[in-house]
Structure 1
Amino acid sequence: MPHIIGERIVLREYRQEDIPEIRKWVNDPDITCGLSDVFTYPHSQTNSEAYVLKGFVIAHKDTLDYIGQLDLFKINWLNRHATLGIVIGRDDNLGKGYGREAIRLLQKFVFHTLNLNRLELEVYAYNERAYRCYLACGFKEEGRLRQKLFREGQYYDIIQIGILRSEYEAAEQTTESSQNV
């Protein structure tokens, strides 16, 4: 798989040496609390090894060291859409824009290389950092599943968000126009 190269990061293939980095976050409730129910239960070494078979690693451009991962799920080739999943694996890499850059690189890949029309995901209402990141990347809120998630004694909404190819391309043209000024 060819690498997808950004300004500060690279989307690359999984490697065996990524597993120790994945093991650092996969059972960390501070990281996994915003992820799917797959991470509600502890993950063994075998679970982690099986998990690295698909998707992209988000890596530092200069060193190719692991930052997190970005995956496409439920790709529907007939109707041209997919679901996005992302995790930044360490607290010290949060808030640095790595997730935003990775999502933008993946959007370009999804809409230009895979020729899909829609990218979607769900975000938990309490995960405000992720929600703001998705909005900054052009996603639009499309609906709420009220009190669908139960975590630590409370119910939370699950927010459905998505971006269409036409919305991505309009934002891309606006960015290119402002850079040419």
Structure 2
Amino acid sequence: MAFVDLSEVLDADLSLPYKGKTYVVPPVDAETGLRFQRLAAVAAQAAKAAESGEAFNPDDIALDDDQEADLFERALGPVYDEMLADRVPWPVLKVAGMTAWLDAAFNRETAEAYWNAAGSPNQTAGNRTTRRAADRSTRRQGSASGTTRTRSTTTKATATRGRKS
């Protein structure tokens, strides 16, 4: 038995549909793929440390805005510029970039689950460590006073503002 050309049996392109258009993300190069794998390993170690109560510095894994944009640009390749030219909203670019990163760093199933959950870590059916790391990175600080605003209060205030006196 001889080896077949891998390009004949491996579909490495990632197809991401949005509003009737499908963006076809080519696979990242080997160097970028290895970089993404290292980033995933560091994120998994940080999540494990947080889970076990070990000390770790979140700044060691947190990306600033420029690094995040660079990650998305590297993950999406030419599709990054195509999405910018199409003026897709930021949340779409962000979900697409993370999906492409997950595809390169983990696997297609994890990326697909993330995309299909619109980037919501609580709905993603992928890797447990990935979900936990994503959940920690998207948490927002609550009210410092310890109070919360209920939905009915918000709805009532909005309705009141909309009425004419």
TM-score when normalising by structure 1: 0.25
Question: Larger % of helix: which?
Answer: 2
Larger radius of gyration: 2
